[in-house]
Amino acid sequence: MNATSPVPAQPSPTAPTPERNRRMLLRRFVPWAGAALLAGLIVAGLWPQPPAVETVRVSTGAMRVTINEEGKTRIRQRFVVAAPVAGQLRRIGWKAGGQTVAGETVVAVIEPMRPALLDPRTRALAEARRDVALATVDRAKEAHRFASSELRRFEQLGVGRVVSPQELEAVQWREASAAREKAVAESSLKQAEAELREFEVVGGAGASGPVEVRAPVSGRVLRVFEESARAVTVGTPLLEIGDPSDLEAVIEVLSRDGAAIAPGSSAELVQWGGAGPLAARVRLVEPAAFTKVSALGVEEQRVNAVLDILTPAAERSTLGDQFRVEGRIVVWEEERTLKVPTGALFRKGQDWAAFVCQGDRLVERPVKVGRSNGPETQVLSGLAEGDEVVSYPGGRLRDGQRFKPARVRSGP
């Protein structure tokens, strides 16, 4: 009898296996792990980070405060050449920029003014007036001769007391009146004869020569007032002469700034068209101010500050009269002082303060400031050389807050 071998049992397809268990676990926990990871990323992204700030170091160095205003140049000594006599001005051939030598260069020529022509009617009237004057003179002479003779007779009679004193005084009065009438008649005759002589002068007889007007100073012609030939009177401006190398600058500053400028203060002129600034010095601040309307329509009280240009004329040969310049007048200067960029300071009530970087935190520190020139401010107390302060902190920073440095600058 044959024995039958046992058949191995087959596993049920629904029975759990280790590999199937692992897959089920993965399917169950992967969504939760992804959700946890996403939540973590969201929390990390929303978690507040230390702000990145730009810092600057407090330094010690030179500092100066200036008043910057626009102005213009002008020639220190200007000479207006005027007509010394009345006459006919010849055409002036000079143009602006012409070179003149004092006492040698002839800048204008004035011919004598010719009298007006006498027409026949006017001449006949003048001759008639002369004849009347001659007759008047003859009559006055005869009257005076008769009065003088009568006076001599009455004086002789008066010695013998033949005539009364009243009669003698009447004769003396008649003699004096006759003398005055004779003088008046002679003056009228001279006037009539002068009118007739004007007719004889026409044509050149008796006319004086032309008058040459010479330059009073060495320099250049700035302007020509009368270029064409014309009749001029005494004192008529002809042209203007000056030395362009002898320049000064006039800077218009606010009256409150002018009160702070002392004569002798150093200055410099920029934006004049040359390569570098021109050295200058304040000579005076004019004592009278004036009202000027600004570009915004605001009335301002301004005063002129006059500056002497110290740079040699050879280095500014292209600079002329009435050229625009920008003046920087030094009102305060220190060779060595503690300073900080103005952008690192902010108001704390009525005082100033700054955020100082200590480690990884910001410390708000009150600061006492002095002078300021705009980009920089003098520090009197509160900061030390080498301190790192936040530049342009704004309103997002707080005392004790962590920070992340972005960039460190040494100054403005």
Closest CA to 193 of 135, 124, 130: 130
Closest CA to 253 of 180, 326, 324, 188: 326
Q: What is the pLDDT of residue 401?
A: 87
> CB of 322 within 8 A of CB of 73?
yes
Q: What is the pLDDT of residue 117?
A: 57
Closest CA to 367 of 343, 347, 390: 347
> How large is the greatest C-alpha to C-alpha distance in the chain, in angstroms?
231
For residues 338 and 40, give the distance between their C-alpha atoms in angstroms, rounded to a whole number: 49
CB neighbour list of residue 363: distance below 8 Å, 6 or more residues apart = 355, 356, 357, 399, 400
Dihedral sign (CA 214, 217, 219, 222)? negative
Q: What is the pLDDT of residue 371?
A: 92
Parallel/antiparallel/unpaired status of strands 59-75 and 230-232: unpaired
Kind plus residue range of the DSSP H or E element containing 127: helix 120-159
Residue 359: which region, alpha, beta or left (left: phi > 0; alpha: psi -120 to 50)?
Answer: left
**3 state SS of 159:** helix
Dihedral pair phi/psi, residue 70, rounded to 5°: -85, 155
Q: What is the pLDDT of residue 393?
A: 87
DSSP structure string for 338-400: EEEEGGG-EEETTEEEEEEEETTEEEEEEEEEEEE-SSEEEEEES--TT-EEESS-TTS--TT
For residues 323 and 344, give the distance between their C-alpha atoms in angstroms, rounded to a whole number: 39
For residues 200 and 178, give the distance between their C-alpha atoms in angstroms, rounded to a whole number: 34
pTM over 0.85: no
Q: What is the pLDDT of residue 199?
A: 59
Structural Rg of the chain based on CA atoms: 52
Q: What is the pLDDT of residue 48?
A: 64
**Beta-ladder partners of 377:** 340, 372
pLDDT (tens digit, 0 to 9) for every residue of the chain, 412 residues total? 444 555 555 555 555 677 776 777 667 777 777 777 777 777 656 656 677 888 899 999 999 999 999 999 999 999 999 999 888 999 999 998 899 999 899 999 999 876 655 567 777 787 888 888 888 888 888 888 888 888 888 887 777 777 788 887 888 888 888 888 888 888 888 888 877 776 554 444 444 678 999 999 899 999 999 999 999 999 999 999 999 889 999 999 999 999 999 999 999 999 999 888 999 999 999 999 999 998 889 999 999 999 999 999 999 989 999 999 999 999 999 999 999 999 999 998 889 999 999 888 899 999 999 999 889 999 999 999 999 999 888 778 888 888 887 765 655 5
For residues 114 and 176, give the distance between their C-alpha atoms in angstroms, rounded to a whole number: 41
Dihedral sign (CA 91, 97, 99, 103)? positive
